[in-house]
Structure 1
Amino acid sequence: MFNPKESSQSEYELVSIDELVPDDRLLRMIDKYIDFTFLLEKVRPFYSEDNGRPSHPLILFKMMFIGYLFGIRSERQLEKEIKMNIAYR
């Protein structure tokens, strides 16, 4: 009863995030119809390419957009929600 297992079996399954999130999800539809890359040109003067840490203003904007859409007012809470909810990624 308390004997350790002699053999253990490990299984791996490859899962794609695209398979986990339904196609009719609001954020998928927004991503399909709105191209946010225009923001990169708008914020280019505010970011240095050769000084400081690399930044991703588009990701930051999308995070704030998710917070606005889903009523997440705290940036700390938003960060936690994005880590936990795979649909936000």
Structure 2
Amino acid sequence: MSIDELVPDDHLLRLIEKYIDFSFLLEKVRPYYSDGNGRPSDPLILFKMMFIGYIYGIHSARQLKREIKMNITYRWFLGLKFHEPVPHHSTISWNRQHRF
């Protein structure tokens, strides 16, 4: 069974993913990222994580990380597989305060 099969067709995040192409964000945030500086991160995942937090009222970066770690639909929306780690809560906090 794949993670995609576990997400209901009528789930809000599936509908958002169907109608919103988030790829435009990569070009918008390119000036703020350096390939050789700092920890590697995916700006699209970080944006979508904050998007989940705003939609579902998860204000704490630590709580957001815990929720994403446990929620299959959140993982699917972010493109994370079961075994992939969720970005550290400090990365979420820093990006929330300085980038988005």
Q: Please classify the TM superposition score into its range, dividing by the shorter chain length.
A: 0.7 to 0.9
Mapped partners of 2:33, 2:56: distance in 1: 28
**Count of aligned residue pairs for this structure pair:** 75
Instruction: Give the TM-score normalised by structure 2.
Output: 0.71
Aligned partner of 1:8 in structure 2 is none
Tell whether 2:44 aligns with 1:85: no
| Higher RCO (C-alpha under 8 Å, 6+ residues apart) | 2
Tell whether 2:38 aligns with 1:33: no
Aligned partner of 2:39 in structure 1 is 53
Q: Aligned-pair RMSD on alpha carbons?
A: 0.9
Task: Flag the structure with higher helix content.
Answer: 2
Please report how far the alpha carbon of residue 40 of structure 1 lies from its aligned counterpart in structure 2 after TM superposition: 0.6
Identity %: 79
Instruction: Give runs of ≥4 in structure 1 deviating > 4 Å.
Output: none
Mapped partners of 1:52, 1:44: distance in 2: 15
Please report how far the alpha carbon of residue 53 of structure 1 lies from its aligned counterpart in structure 2 after TM superposition: 2.7
5 Å-filtered alignment, 1:12-27, equals 15-27=1-13
Please report how far the alpha carbon of residue 84 of structure 1 lies from its aligned counterpart in structure 2 after TM superposition: 0.5
Mapped partners of 2:4, 2:17: distance in 1: 13
Please report how far the alpha carbon of residue 71 of structure 1 lies from its aligned counterpart in structure 2 after TM superposition: 0.5
User: What amino acid does structure 2 have at the position aligned with 1:43?
Assistant: V
Structure 1 unaligned blocks of 5 or more: 1-14
